[in-house]
Amino acid sequence: MAGIYVHIPFCKQACYYCNFHFSTQLNNREAMVAAICKDIDLRHNYLTERKLNTLYFGGGTPSLLNRSMLASIIDRIHDHFEVEEGAELTFECNPDDITPDYLTELRSLRINRLSLGIQSFFDADLQFMHRAHSGTEALKSLELIKQAGFDNISLDLIYGSPTTTDKMWQYNVQSLIDAGVPHISAYCLTIEDNTVFGRWHKQKRMEAIDDEKASRQFYYLLDALENAGYHAYEISNFAMPGFEAVHNSNYWSGVPYLGVGPSSILIMKRNVNGV
């Protein structure tokens, strides 16, 4: 078995903490999809294994691609590989892109695992981080995903932000537990070079992340999730039994994989290291 990671390098706007490789020039999407298809043609022989049991669309923001763009990439993968029946097809998406129609389209492409970048249910956090969605949209998207019948869902949260009080963090964690979300990825906010936060920090307009608060919020998360039946199977990833990400777990167990798209190797390394 083997897996393929596809990096989709587009975002609506730049989150102030993010130093991933992405562009906000959405009019280049068709050209990028063509380049990714070419990448698959040129590099598919890197894998000697022809059967895939995972596909992972990460970003950037894959949910900025429409159905026909996604179908082009998936079809090209099918030209070279056999995607096993029941393979895990993960798709990263942002709350502001989720509509019932879009979810139906994702299902028609056999996407069966959604990773939703919620980060927080509080507008104060989301606005500070310059996320494109609101707390209301975060809740609504989760509801729509469940109504559409996706049960393999992962949600991202960020802790340690100067705007996130312990009470807010507890609310975020408890909301996901109460919603029955089976997989949670939680990341500590970091100040990276070449980001708005990095610039603010250098200009002394932003304090360093409060390590004590971040550590307190992380330990709260560990306890709350453990008590709710989740287990920590990676530094930043927590799952109910049977909902561990097959794609990420395969990195650890040495299953061969291919990364396509402009920054796929760097992003995969970050996913494995939990940063």
Q: Which residues bind ligand SF4 (CB under 6 A)?
A: 11, 14-15, 18, 20, 22, 59-61, 94, 117
Q: Are residues 17 and 70 in contact, defined by beta-carbon separation less than 8 angstroms? A: no
Q: What is the DSSP letter of 182?
A: S
Between 12 and 44, CB nearer to ligand SF4:
12
User: CB–CB of 57/90 below 8 Å?
Assistant: yes
How far is the C-alpha of 113 from the C-alpha of 111, rounded, in Å? 6
Q: How far is the CB of 15 from ligand SF4 (least distance, A)?
A: 3
Spatial contact of 174 and 225, defined as CB atoms under 8 Å apart = no
* CB-nearer residue toward ligand SF4: 117 or 160: 117
Alpha carbon distance 270, 254 (integer Å): 16
- Write down the least CB distance from residue 14 to ligand SF4, Å: 5
Cβ proximity to ligand SF4, 3 vs 60, nearer residue: 60
Angle at the Cα of 222 (from 270 to 156), degrees rounded to 5? Answer: 45
The first and second tokens of residue 171, run together, are 């609310």
* Closest distance of CB 218 from ligand SF4, Å: 19
Q: Which is nearer to ligand SF4, 58 or 182 (CB)?
A: 58
Min dist. Cβ of residue 54 to ligand SF4 (A): 20
Least distance from ligand SF4 to the Cβ atom of residue 40, Å: 22
Phi and psi at 222, nearest 5°, equal -55, -50
Which CB atom, from 11 or from 153, has the smaller least distance to ligand SF4?
11
Q: Which CB sits closer to ligand SF4, 22 or 121?
A: 22
Nearer to ligand SF4, 103 or 158 (CB): 158
Least distance in Å: CB of 262 to ligand SF4? 13
CA torsion, points 197, 260, 58, 219, in degrees to nearest 10?
-70
**How far, in Å, CA of 96 to CA of 118, rounded?**
10
Query: How far apart are CB 8 and ligand SF4 at their closest, in Å?
Result: 9
Laid out side by side, the sheet with 153-159 consists of 231-232, 237-239, 183-188, 153-159, 113-119, 82-93, 51-59, 2-8, 257-260
Element (H, E) at 69: helix 67-80
